[in-house]
Structure 1
Amino acid sequence: MPVFFRMLYKVSYDALYHFSEDDGWAMASHVALSALLAVFPFLIFGTALASFLGADQFAETAVHVIFDTWPETIAKPLSDQVIQVLTIPRGGLLTVSVLAAAYFASNGVEALRVSLNRAYRVSETRPWYITRLVSLGYVLGAVISLAAISALLVVVPVALAFAETNFPFMKDFLSTVSSWRIYGTLALLIIGLVIFHLGLPAGKRRLPDVIPGILLTLILWLVGALAFASYLASFANYAATYAGLASIMIVLVFLYMVGAIFIIGAEFNAALMKYRVLPHKRPNRKT
């Protein structure tokens, strides 16, 4: 057991040291601002594409998936603005504004890619146009996934009602399944983190290489969200400091914390691979 704690100390120290050396705090602010700037373009592009595909419930589904894992005091002001934006009628799918929205949405993915490259201590070898196309592919994949989920949300209640009528012995089970939205959101979050860690940064990693950092990210995210919500309820008075900008400042500070946690999770994985805690062929990376 002492050996385990010594190794945990070495790995944690290495991860935090490189987080500082790799400008982790600055990258966290870059991720936070890019994510905030990408939310509205992503939802605008997603709503246009989903409407074209016939998934009219996309906006509601996307708002739930994005904001259900946030504390309510932080998510509500932004989600209210998102809903207002998405109710504005727009033109067809292939308009300049919608295509520009897709491009700006990919900036959020690009911020994650750059921060993950630094955290995993790898250099980007792909041309800029390839990385941009990859980021656009992530945006398109996320939209299609949410569109499919929104279509299922229309079909599932009908199927559940039919099942309850014809298979009454399954009523308790079906009622439990129908209330599992938060679990579905959590599952999507985990899948998204796995995809980002495996496919977004340069180099090759296996699933066992990224799982420890993802678990650490989820734990720190939960603790941080609860602590931040408690802080807002008990101590913070952003309205007195930022007046009408209070809501946006709260969201930025929260995203800053989430960005730092996301990067630390990748730094933790890189430290584990460095000390061969996880069997792995060491990639080319900075010391």
Structure 2
Amino acid sequence: MAKLSFDSIKKNFLELVRRFSEDEITSLSAQLSYFFLLSLFPLLIFSVAIASYLPIDYMRILEMMSNYIPVEAMQLIENFLLETVESTGGGLLSIAIIGTIWSASNGINAIMRALNKAYDVEENRPFILGRLIAISLLISVLLIIVVALLLPIFGRMIGVYIFSFFGASEQFITVWNNLRWIISSSIFFIGFLYLYRMAPNTKVYLKDAVWGALFTTIGWQISSYGFSLYVNTMGNYSATYGSLCGVIILMLWFYISSIIIIVGGEINAIIADKRGRLKR
């Protein structure tokens, strides 16, 4: 493998800057954030419907999400869920499944198109096959994200239960309590790695997708925390957008997240190109 040097890092960075403009990443991110917004609310309905059959309080999940999402956007989500839970009946789950699969798979399709552009390939898979791939990616990534979100919430409970069989000390439980956040990030990494490996319409080697997945995992968490901190402490969007404040902030968060995801795919494409694996 080629030796990593300052010159190679500089060349790769300049290539990424060129691709950022040439592949219209900002425009693609705007499209992707739109599909994310359309997917969010059916996905929330579906999550609440599933949680009603499990010993899980969905408010705990929302509490975990609040670490990444600004206050105004979280208030919008919480109000929507409260109204949904109070006003819907037994048909909630079946309706939510249909709405979630269709709407959220459109978001995955948008990611697939963006990654195809990064690899300079056309989407020539049949419509049905493309939709099935999108749905399978959606379900897989959704399960990984749910586990990643639930682990910080229930991690201590799980650690106490497992390590009680081995007579673990309270100090060891404290170490586990800190490690579960690292494990949660690792699960996010696996989810992004799977997405980058399967979504493009070309063969992507696992070793080529690692760096993009690592960038997205770290970049998404840092940008989400940073954006949430900025909005909650310094941003005053309510003065400009009024009652639309929550929607605007949610769209901005989706937009930032979309840029991170697409840039991660571009990094993978650059690495594949340098290794002679990018088909043109």
Q: Same fold by TM-score, threshold 0.5 exceeded?
A: yes
The residue identity in structure 2 corresponding to 1:282 is R
* 2:118–2:266 CA contact under 8 A, matched in 1: yes
Q: State the Cα distance separating 1:268 from its structure 2 match.
A: 1.7
The separation in 2 between residues aligned to 1:158 and 1:222, in whole angstroms, is 24
The separation in 2 between residues aligned to 1:192 and 1:80, in whole angstroms, is 26
The residue identity in structure 2 corresponding to 1:255 is F
* 1:15–1:268 CA contact under 8 A, matched in 2: yes
**Residues 39-67 of structure 1: CA deviation (Å, up to 9, x unaligned):** 2212323443565xx434274575466x2
The residue identity in structure 1 corresponding to 2:247 is I
* 1:43–1:62 CA contact under 8 A, matched in 2: no
Taking only the aligned residue pairs, the percentage that are identical comes to: 26
User: What's the counterpart of residue 108 of structure 1?
Assistant: 107
Q: How many residues align?
A: 276
* 2:148–2:187 CA contact under 8 A, matched in 1: no
User: Any residues of structure 2 matched to 1:26-105 within 5 Å, and which?
Assistant: 26-49=27-50, 51=52, 54-57=53-56, 59-60=58-59, 63=62, 67=65, 70=68, 72-73=70-71, 76-81=74-79, 83-84=81-82, 87-88=85-86, 89-92=88-91, 95-96=94-95, 98-105=97-104
Bigger CA drift: 253-262 or 94-103? 94-103
The separation in 2 between residues aligned to 1:107 and 1:257, in whole angstroms, is 19
User: What's the counterpart of residue 279 of structure 2?
Assistant: 284
User: What's the counterpart of residue 274 of structure 2?
Assistant: 275
Q: State the Cα distance separating 1:266 from its structure 2 match.
A: 1.3
* 1:56–1:150 CA contact under 8 A, matched in 2: no
Q: Secondary structure at the match of 1:87?
A: helix
User: What's the counterpart of residue 5 of structure 1?
Assistant: 6
The separation in 1 between residues aligned to 2:252 and 2:99, in whole angstroms, is 27
User: What's the counterpart of residue 160 of structure 1?
Assistant: 160
The residue identity in structure 2 corresponding to 1:136 is I
The separation in 1 between residues aligned to 2:180 and 2:63, in whole angstroms, is 9
Q: Secondary structure at the match of 2:44?
A: helix
Cα distance change on mapping 1:239 and 1:169 into 2, 3 Å = closer
User: What's the counterpart of residue 201 of structure 1?
Assistant: 200
The separation in 2 between residues aligned to 1:10 and 1:163, in whole angstroms, is 49
User: What's the counterpart of residue 217 of structure 1?
Assistant: 216
Q: State the Cα distance separating 1:138 from its structure 2 match.
A: 2.6
User: What's the counterpart of residue 191 of structure 1?
Assistant: 190
Q: TM-score, normalised by structure 1?
A: 0.78
* 2:50–2:93 CA contact under 8 A, matched in 1: no
The residue identity in structure 2 corresponding to 1:138 is L
Cα distance change on mapping 1:72 and 1:170 into 2, 3 Å = farther
The separation in 1 between residues aligned to 2:229 and 2:44, in whole angstroms, is 29
The separation in 1 between residues aligned to 2:4 and 2:178, in whole angstroms, is 44
The residue identity in structure 2 corresponding to 1:132 is R
The separation in 2 between residues aligned to 1:124 and 1:58, in whole angstroms, is 41
Q: TM-score, normalised by structure 2?
A: 0.80
Higher relative contact order (CA 8 A, sep 6+): 1
Bigger CA drift: 103-112 or 79-88? 79-88
The separation in 2 between residues aligned to 1:215 and 1:78, in whole angstroms, is 31
* 1:57–1:150 CA contact under 8 A, matched in 2: no
Cα distance change on mapping 1:23 and 1:208 into 2, 3 Å = same
Bigger CA drift: 211-220 or 197-206? 211-220
Q: What CA RMSD, in Å, does the superposition of the two structures yield over aligned residues? A: 3.6
The separation in 2 between residues aligned to 1:217 and 1:203, in whole angstroms, is 20
1:124 and 2:130 aligned: no
**Residues 13-43 of structure 1: CA deviation (Å, up to 9, x unaligned):** 2222122112211111111121122122123
Bigger CA drift: 192-201 or 81-90? 81-90
The residue identity in structure 2 corresponding to 1:9 is K
Q: State the Cα distance separating 1:171 from its structure 2 match.
A: 2.7
User: What's the counterpart of residue 264 of structure 1?
Assistant: 263
The separation in 2 between residues aligned to 1:94 and 1:233, in whole angstroms, is 34
The separation in 2 between residues aligned to 1:61 and 1:120, in whole angstroms, is 39
